[in-house]
Amino acid sequence: MEERKAKLFSRDYILVIMSAMGASFVNYFFFSSLSLFADKLTGTVVFAGFMSLAYSATALIIRPVSGILSDRNGRTKILILGAFLGAVACLLYSFTTSLALLLMIRVLNGIGMSMNTTSAGAAIPDIVPKERMAEGVGIFGMYSTIAQAIGPFIALAIVADGEFSSFNRLFYIAALFCTFSLVCGCFIKYERKGKAARKGQAVSAVPDEPDAPAVTEKQDAPDEPEGKIIFGFDVRVFGPALVMLLYFFGISSILSFLTLYGKTRGFQVEYLGSFFLVSAAGLLVARLFFGKIVDRRGGDVVVIPGLIITALVLFTIPLMPSLPLLICVAFPYGMASGAVSPSLNSTMFKRCSPKRRGTVSAAYYASVDIGITLGAPVLGWLADRTSFTWVYWSASAVVVAAFLLHIFFVSDKQFKRRAAKA
């Protein structure tokens, strides 16, 4: 029994990962190609930015709603509904004739994908053994890394000629990926099994213990006490979420501006992609191995070094005189990112009641969305008025602020100290 309880790669775990991966591929298809479609449709690139804004703003607004619906109605139902809405949006893209219609469909796309990824993120801690929470969450996040590495390549290869027929082909393929996500969701059984088991317990008689309390369908196993709720979120998620927000604010300087920075330094742009390839390798290594360490020794042991390494990488980027030296810091950056993000995610799940995992997942993804959404324009404004050197040094300072926040307010030590006083 103990071995079965400790099993990580269960059928439902794999199905949730596959469902989330299908949705993530669609996201990266459109991140890389929809601006080209908007340019083809309108004849100007100025509207391309509206595509990103419409999608990110919608996803950010819908995430808390998705989390609440997931907690109340079940993860699988919302995951399937999100994939269905995504598939509908993908098919509707092929009928787009104006920018206004394109924006409306992009909003629908954002609603569907937000519901799917938020619900998938909430399902993972339901499925994995508690003693392997960080490992399970870390490996789950690899789906996004794979989609990020392959999705844009596939999309740009399909629409390389810029013809509407090629974009329509991409939209149909994206709809198939959403359908794949939906089908995987339909085969996830853990919620149905749990509901059936609770119903069986509720009607079973216990003749030897006539005074034993009846088990109802809504009763759950004992779990962590529920904390205070603010704006629909457990207050215990705000500390780790703020660290995540600051962290992604800082690394948005790499995600959004590294190519432009390399171009200003005279680096060969076609080889700058090597930075992201090497960083992805570091991220995969971290997600595969650091989760086990976190489960045994707590999140601080990898989060604190990860924040320090990221701050140092950001500070040294403007000091690198050549592209090979710049690529040298890509692997430690990827490992640091793979340490910080999933560890804080699992920390948020562990500190809150299982009944609120939907809103915990929403808080996690929202902190990432807000960090990048705020970081890119703020640091872009700074680049226009100063230089990329100050962009990366400022980003490093923001990550240092995240480190200090974690040390003094969010760390396991501080959380346990406050819990003991309470």
Higher-confidence residue: 382 or 235? 382
CA distances from 173 to 91, 168, 185, 187 (A): 9, 9, 19, 22
How sure is the predictor about 206, in pLDDT bands with cuts at 50, 70 and 90? very low
Q: What percent of the chain has pLDDT over 70?
A: 85
Q: Is the pLDDT confidence value at 241 over 70?
A: yes
Q: Are 125 and 358 in contact (CB under 8 A)?
A: no
State the pLDDT at residue 210. 39
Mean pLDDT, the chain, as a whole number? 82
State the pLDDT at residue 215. 35
What one-character DSSP code corresponds to residue 236?
Answer: G
From CA 80, how far away is CA 19, in angstroms rounded? 9
Q: Residues 230-251: what's their mean pLDDT?
A: 86
From CA 325, how far away is CA 316, in angstroms rounded? 10
Q: Is the pLDDT confidence value at 220 over 90?
A: no
Q: Is the pLDDT confidence value at 62 over 90?
A: no
How sure is the predictor about 295, in pLDDT bands with cuts at 50, 70 and 90? confident
State the pLDDT at residue 132. 84
Q: For residue 207, what are its two tokens? A: 């003749």
Beta bridge mates, 234 = 229
In the chain the domains, ranked by start, together with CATH numbers, are: 2-192 (1.20.1250.20), 229-421 (1.20.1250.20)
Q: Residues 49-60: what's their mean pLDDT?
A: 74
How sure is the predictor about 356, in pLDDT bands with cuts at 50, 70 and 90? confident
> Exposure string (b/e) for 221-244, b if CB count within 10 Å is 16 or more?
eeeeeebeeeeebbebbbbbbbbb
State the pLDDT at residue 313. 96
Q: Is the pLDDT confidence value at 417 over 60?
A: yes
State the pLDDT at residue 270. 62
Rounded to 10 degrees, what is the CA torsion of 317, 323, 328, 329? 20
State the pLDDT at residue 232. 62
Q: Are 356 and 71 in contact (CB under 8 A)?
A: yes
Beta-carbon count within 10 A of 202 CB: 13
How sure is the predictor about 219, in pLDDT bands with cuts at 50, 70 and 90? very low
Higher-confidence residue: 402 or 201? 402
User: Phi and psi for 230 in degrees, rounded to 5?
Assistant: -130, 125
Q: Is the pLDDT confidence value at 56 over 90?
A: no
Q: Residues 217-224: what's their mean pLDDT?
A: 42
Report the candidate in 16, 27, 25 with the shortest Cα–Cα distance to residue 110.
27
The string of pLDDT tens digits covering residues 155-173 is 878 887 878 889 999 999 9
Task: Give the pTM.
Answer: 0.73
User: Phi and psi for 209 in degrees, rounded to 5?
Assistant: -130, 75
Q: What percent of the chain has pLDDT over 90?
A: 32
> 63-67, 175-179, 216-220, 347-351: which has the highest mean pLDDT?
175-179
User: Phi and psi for 234 in degrees, rounded to 5?
Assistant: -65, 135
Q: For residue 66, what are its two tokens? A: 């998705």
How sure is the predictor about 255, in pLDDT bands with cuts at 50, 70 and 90? confident
Tell me the HSE value of 163 on the side-chain side, using a 13 A CA sphere.
Answer: 5
From CA 306, how far away is CA 324, in angstroms rounded? 22
Report the candidate in 396, 294, 395 with the shortest Cα–Cα distance to residue 348.
294
CA distances from 78 to 85, 106, 217 (A): 10, 19, 20
